[in-house]
Structure 1
Amino acid sequence: MNIFRTKDINLLHREVENHSLKRALGATDIVMMGIGVIIGTGIFVLTGVAAANFAGPGIMLSFALSSIACIFICLAYSELASSIPAAGSAYTYTYVAGGELLAWLVGWNLILEYSVGASAVAGGWSAYFVGILKSAGVELPQAITAVPYDGGIVNLPAVLIVLFITFVLVRGVKESATVNRWLVGVKLAAIFLFLLLAGPKVDATNWTPFLPYGVAGISAGASIIFFAYLGIDSLATAAEETRNPQRDMPIGIIVSLLICTVLYIAVSCVLTGVVPYGELNTAEPVTFVLRKLGYNFGSALVGTGAIAGLTTVCLVMIYAQTRAFFAMSRDGLIPPALCKVHPKYGSPHIITLIVGLTVAGIAGFTPIGLVAEMCNIGTLFAFTVATGCVLVLRRTQPNLKRPFRCPAPKIVVPLAMLSSLYIMSGLPAATWVRFAVWSLIGLAIYAVYGARNSRVGQTKAEDKIAA
């Protein structure tokens, strides 16, 4: 049994043709998905906390620094997505370049980002929803708005939003993209409303001192807000459902990153310019600032935009998890029956239902505060391995068709890997322990099922016998 066997790129292309998902997405859809998954808790939560505790008004530079690190990752992912346009994202790239065992570990740890992350976002969605109802004079009982650990029975709003998203995803990727477009539109409208109302109230004296925590505060702030960009890899999972992935995937990944970076910097500029940075240590800095300025109605509208924003993040994360599982089931590492595509909707409906119900269960009944931070380490591990695949494939498959080529790969790729490793190094020791335990569980499952049922392993064994 060769656990380091790689997947032949020609075999992958044949599998995509035989198990093809419906190609219904264009570059605009990928851009909107990018905005949908990147702009969420980052702009509505992390901006204020990072400014108050780490960078002050220098948070603007923190976003610039963080985006530079992320652009290295995006350039590497753009080459991989255009040259290997299949579902699975980092898992698939690693299978082709790094071997089966490493690919399994990447796919296993993506569960931490997608499923656990979606559950955490659903919990945040519920909190915003309950808060808006409370402001309107409607107070829901704790029994149906909190998990048992927090004194409730079930977090029903979190469960319902996940079930709604699951229904939309089962209906097909085009319908999902349409819902995502509308929600992204609401979210962007809320952000522009905030900039329109609060922008004229900026007082430049609030930007002094600009670096109250020193130059070190810029990098500290960047480490915190980098997590706002973690969902960027989920875009690559859509390659198999994109009409022209060689062209549309690089455009979607890079353009969505640039748009989100501009919006992040603009919002952080206005936030720190309207009120002293020390007052922004709140989980709702955008609505807090509007209320402080007397725009209570505007604050409610922006809160609605925040709900739309969290909905799109949850949608794209659940979508990405189903496509990662789709790729793994097609390879035989999890039961192949799970990759069945619905004859009418063209979506992997079985996997989608399983993921949706699982996420709904975690969001509704489990306190996920301790587990949610594992999203970061799982994603950063995938970033590190997947970006390294660019250099491996340049060496092992120099003739691979690359519609988009990462510029200066010997510089960009190491910088992408070092950026991810640097941020991983700052995570708590307890997170590393949980990461190790989670990985060992994954290795056990691979040994019991995946290694024995791998389609690549079976194919290579048959070829060896035939030879």
Structure 2
Amino acid sequence: MVRRKPIDQIEEEDHGGGLKRTLGLWQLTAIGIGGIIGAGIFALAGKVANQNAGPAVLASFLIAGVASAAAAFSYAEFAGLIPKAGSAYTYGYAVLGEFAGWFIGWDLLLEYTAIVAVVAIGISGYFGYLLGAVGINLPPWMMGAYDPTDPTNGHRVDVFAIILCLFIAFLLTRGIKAAARFETIVVGVKIALVLLVIVVGVFFINTGNYHPFFPHGFAGTMSGAAIVFFAVFGYDAMSTAAEESVDSRKHMPKAIIYSLAISMVLYVLACLVLTGMQYYTEINPNAGFSTAFKSVGLPGLGSIIAVGAIIGILTVLFTFMLGVTRVWYSMSRDRLLPKVFAKTSRKHRVPTLATWIVGIVSALIAGVVPIGEAAELTNIGILLAFFVVCIAVIVLRYKRPDLPRTFKLPGMPVVPAIGAIASIWLITYLQPLTWLRFAIWFVIGLIIYFAYSRKSSLLNPNSKHHAAEVPPPTVPDAE
């Protein structure tokens, strides 16, 4: 359970049959921004302002951002040191041992898949607004998952969210180069849209809407931070693409820091505009910015925002579906999961089978689970992953100071310790039901680990894979 993959021997494990290196610095940064900016602005900001924190949603984002920044520095150091797919799973495996790596990898399989579902639900809310604005009213049953807190809305299944999840799965099976090109273009559109919201919205701010700033006190602000933490990571999923970067040791740390810094500036400004334009109790939790501009007499801009939100949030779907498939690929390559999931297609060199399974499962979650419950489920897992990475970077810095690091996080060990403490602190503000769901997933993972993974692992000297492991085979593309 504590056997570790030797860092000195970690290579990229390509062998001509693995992942394909095509991503440069700005493509990586675009993937990071694509994962960070999306549902946080266009879906969760309005929901948290309306239901949890009021105007203090700004403080919620800042608190979550500080915790995320401390973890981002830890990820950046690891990304420059271990240029492998798998992100937190690989880092935990190399430093803390196999069981810690398994725990984080199994955790991320659920969390990233749930994130894809949450984001698809967030897009669906804007899709409904847009259809209503042009006079199209689809049957309520297909416009959202059943929500027991609002059973009168007629929602039963979110058809549009299901379609989106399957579309992104298809896009990722076409190859990382084509998919990354799509991601970069759409991220540019999304940033332009957020800047439009900020520049126009600032002229309609009523400072009276900021009072009271903390309507639900510090507890409401922290509860909001625990939810919007979902919106201030994404670079971790981007780091799973290390083996698809042309120079991951040099580019990955920069891309992590650039993407978080750009995103946090935009988040803060957008929250100021949203809560300044409307009193927090009047903000629409499903399509906050669109309805805010409609309330000040700019329904046309609200429709533009809805279109942009739908396009822009696609990048979040892309980033996290990419992340979960690369974690799954890495765990299967290490034989902690069946090796069939480490097979890559001959033409595009992507894990096609894993990608389609993630697409279908995330579509099912998006179709039947309300956004609030799905968002909390994602946060507990990511916060635990951040905790492990922050602890691991401290351990490795003092155990192996000799290792060549292209980036060294500042303030060791204070900065990663802040990240670890803040992650655990935010977890305590999540709902007990979220803990229960995560515990069930963890128990399932324990059964799989002790029944299969521990015995099949490449690091197990008694495993049939241990002596002479061949590179993952390729299979023809599924048409």
TM-score by length of 2: 0.88
Distance 1:73 1:213, change over 3 A: same
Q: Which is worse superposed, 410-419 or 56-65? A: 56-65
Distance 1:32 1:328, change over 3 A: same
- For 2:116, the equivalent position in structure 1 comes to 118
- For 1:68, the equivalent position in structure 2 comes to 66
1:286 is aligned to 2:289? yes
- For 1:88, the equivalent position in structure 2 comes to 86
Rounded Cα–Cα distance in structure 2 between residues aligned with 1:277 and 1:134: 23
The one-letter code sitting in structure 2 at the alignment partner of 1:64 is L
State the secondary structure of the residue aligned to 1:283: coil
Give CA-to-partner distance per residue, 1:335-369, whole Å, 9 cap, x none: 11221222221222222122223323333456676
Distance 1:61 1:24, change over 3 A: same
- For 2:261, the equivalent position in structure 1 comes to 258
Rounded Cα–Cα distance in structure 1 between residues aligned with 2:59 and 2:157: 41
The one-letter code sitting in structure 1 at the alignment partner of 2:430 is L
1:26 is aligned to 2:24? yes
Distance 1:112 1:256, change over 3 A: same
Aligned residues: 462
User: Which residue of the other structure, out of 79, 103, 106, is the alignment partner of 2:101?
Assistant: 103
Rounded Cα–Cα distance in structure 1 between residues aligned with 2:465 and 2:245: 33
Matches within 5 A, 1:19-58: 20-58=18-56
**CA drift at 1:454:** 0.5
**CA drift at 1:60:** 3.3
Greater helix share, 1 or 2? 1
State the secondary structure of the residue aligned to 1:352: helix
- For 2:430, the equivalent position in structure 1 comes to 427
Gaps (5+ residues) in structure 1? none
Distance 1:17 1:383, change over 3 A: farther
User: Which residue of the other structure, out of 387, 394, 402, is the alignment partner of 2:397?
Assistant: 394
**CA drift at 1:58:** 4.1
Rounded Cα–Cα distance in structure 2 between residues aligned with 1:303 and 1:170: 28
1:323 is aligned to 2:326? yes
Rounded Cα–Cα distance in structure 2 between residues aligned with 1:388 and 1:452: 27
Give CA-to-partner distance per residue, 1:67-115, whole Å, 9 cap, x none: 2221111000000111011011111001001111121111111122111
Rounded Cα–Cα distance in structure 1 between residues aligned with 2:274 and 2:465: 63
Contact 2:232 2:264 (8 Å CA) reproduced: no
**CA drift at 1:61:** 3.8
TM-score by length of 1: 0.91
**CA drift at 1:370:** 4.1
Task: Note the aligned Cα RMSD (angstroms).
Answer: 2.7
1:383 is aligned to 2:381? no
The one-letter code sitting in structure 1 at the alignment partner of 2:193 is A
Give CA-to-partner distance per residue, 1:268-296, whole Å, 9 cap, x none: 12223233334336332211210011111
**CA drift at 1:129:** 2.0
**CA drift at 1:308:** 1.6
Percent sequence identity over matched residues? 38
- For 1:182, the equivalent position in structure 2 comes to 185
Rounded Cα–Cα distance in structure 2 between residues aligned with 1:98 and 1:270: 44
Rounded Cα–Cα distance in structure 1 between residues aligned with 2:376 and 2:219: 23
- For 2:477, the equivalent position in structure 1 comes to none
The one-letter code sitting in structure 2 at the alignment partner of 1:441 is I
